[in-house]
Every structure is written in C-alpha cells, then in structure tokens.
Amino acid sequence: MIEARDVSVAIGKKRIVADVDFEVRPGEISAIVGPNGSGKTTFLKAMSGDLAHTGRIVINDRELSTMKPVEAATVRAVLPQATTLSFPFTVREIVRLGLVGGLAGMLPGENERLPERALARVDLEGFSGRFYQELSGGEQQRVQLARVLCQVWAPVLDGRPRYLFLDEPVSSLDIKHQLIIMNIARDFARRGGGVVAILHDLNLTAMYADRIFVMHRGRLAATGSPREVLSDELIERVFDCRLKVGVLPASDMPFVLPQSSVS
C-alpha cells in the first residue's frame, strides 16, 4: 500500500499542502476531491516524486525519496491533467512510450501487442496510425491513459501491488467515456492494484471511490467512505456553494445535487 504521513509541500515560501495523511490500499480507489486551488494536484505531484516535500511517503514499504526514477516507474504510473506535444508522434508511438521503462509485467513477446490492447480498452481501436496532435482533447486524454496502462499493465508484479495516479482522468470526457475510464480504474483495483484519482464530479466519486479524501485550503477536511464523507454540511462548507446530498434508495449510494444559487 501507499502511506503518506504529515506531508507538506511549499512552493517558494507559500505552503500549498499542509500536514496531509493519505493512504491507498491495493484493491481500492482512493479519490481526492476539493475545490480548485485546494492543493490536490500539488499533493499528487509530491506523491509522484515531482515536488520536494516534508513528511513521509512510503510505497510498498519503500520510502519514496530513496527510489530511483526507474524503480518508482515500476510501481506506479501517472496520468497528468493534459499533455501537449511539439513533434508529430503517432498515437501508437505515444502509447508505446509507456513501455520505455520496460516493466509492463508481460512476457517479452507480448509487449508489441500491448499498445493496441491498451487503446482498445480506452475505446480508441483503430487510432494507432492517427497523429496525436490532431485528436480532440478527450481523445488525447484517453491516449495518455492507454500509455499509462501500458506502463503498469499487470496490477500486481512479483506479488507486489502497483498503482495508478490519475489527475482528473475524466475532466474532458463525455459521459460514456467517463464511465469507461472509471470502470478501467475499478477493474485495475479489483485485480489487486491501487488507484488514486483526483476527481471533480462528486457523483462519479460517490459511485466509484472506496475512500474519499476531501482537501480544503491545503489541508484534509475529511476522510472516509462516500457515505461517511458526503454530507450537506461538509460539502457546502468546502465547496462554498449550496447543494443537497441524497441517497439512492436501492444501492445506498449517496448523490449530490447542486442548488442553482451560489451561497
């Protein structure tokens, strides 16, 4: 599992993330929610090893700061919010970059077929020969997800779980593809991996997350299952707007209904 304790991140003199405790268990999706500028992405960057931080981040019993790039690349893959390119790579060439570390967890011969299989999973079959720069934002996002999936194709490698870090994986997608992507994340977790996802859609979060971390002004405002965390009071306070939290009677799943006027 991944355990973060007392993680703080400062950029310049400004503290963006303060004393965050966080965990991802194999088999679970941990969602991070919170308003814009609450430090979600900064925290995920610290967990990805991009930003200096204080506190401890331990992945599968290894301190993150002691891991080499290639070791970290073996246990987790990171999907950024958006990726722009300045060279005309084809979709296949981009997806194949997920294998640059060479540890997808597949037999050597299978690596060649992996890009096509990953593309099929994100509903981009037949896109191999297209140029990345010509795709729509949503399609580009799915190509990047296919690349990320190639990197950690097997959710468990040598008996140790691997992790997906997803920064707003569905933000530019239509509803069908939002569900496809979230199902991929759930499937990855079901097969023994762990998923961290920054999400904005609270209903999608309620539907898929096993554990929700609510961030507010750089700190954790609440942690727990969707049922524990999603309440009128907390969500209204954190997001500073009026909404109603209900529960779907059949599934006991909470849902969030925004009210039209800002508080």
Partner 1 sequence: MADQSIAGPVKAMGASEGDRSGRARAVILLLCLSLAIAVLLSLTSGASDASAVNVIRDWLFGTVPGDAALSARDSLIVYEIRLPRVILGMLVGAALAVCGAVMQGLFRNPLADPGLIGVSAGSSLGAVAVIVLGGTVLAPATALLGTLALPFAAFFGGLATTLVLYEVATRRGQTSVATMLLAGIALAALAMALTGILIFMADDRQLRDLTFWSLGSLGGATWAKIASVGPIIILALAAMPFLARGLNALALGEATAGHLGIPVQRLKYTAIIGVSAAVGASVAVSGGIGFVGIVVPHLLRLLIGPDNRYLLPASALLGASLLLLADAVARTIVAPAELPIGIVTAVAGAPLFLWILLRKRGVIDL
Distinct helix (H) and strand (E) counts, the chain: 9, 14
Give whichever of 97 and 243 is closer to partner 1, judged by the CB atom.
Answer: 97
**Residue span binding partner 1 (CB under 8 A) among the ranges 14-22, 127-135, 173-181, 251-259:** 127-135
Q: Is 88 in the site for partner 1 (CB under 8 A)?
A: yes
- Bridge partners, residue 172, by sequence: none
**Residue span binding partner 1 (CB under 8 A) among the ranges 52-60, 95-103, 204-212, 225-233:** 95-103
Pinpoint the alpha helices (H) of the chain. 40-47, 69-75, 91-96, 114-121, 137-151, 175-190, 202-208, 226-229, 232-239
Q: Is 52 in the site for partner 1 (CB under 8 A)?
A: no
Q: Which two tokens stand for residue 230?
A: 């999603």
Give whichever of 133 and 263 is closer to partner 1, judged by the CB atom.
Answer: 133
Q: CB under 8 Å to 44, separation ≥6 — which residues?
A: 32, 78, 165, 167, 196, 198
**Residue span binding partner 1 (CB under 8 A) among the ranges 26-34, 57-65, 73-81, 239-247:** 73-81
* Calpha distance 57→46 (Å, rounded): 9
252 backbone φψ class: left, alpha, beta (φ>0; ψ -120 to 50): left
Give whichever of 21 and 63 is closer to partner 1, judged by the CB atom.
Answer: 63
* Calpha distance 101→180 (Å, rounded): 26
**Residue span binding partner 1 (CB under 8 A) among the ranges 70-78, 197-205, 212-220, 248-256:** 70-78
Q: Is 42 in the site for partner 1 (CB under 8 A)?
A: no
Q: How far is the CB of 105 from partner 1 (least distance, A)?
A: 14
Give whichever of 38 and 151 is closer to partner 1, judged by the CB atom.
Answer: 151
Give whichever of 98 and 155 is closer to partner 1, judged by the CB atom.
Answer: 98
The alpha carbon dihedral of 235, 25, 154, 73 has a sign of: positive
Q: Is 50 in the site for partner 1 (CB under 8 A)?
A: yes
Binding residues for partner 1, per CB under 8 A? 45, 48-50, 68-74, 76-78, 80, 83, 85-94, 97-98, 100-101, 103, 112, 115-116, 126, 128-131, 133-134, 151
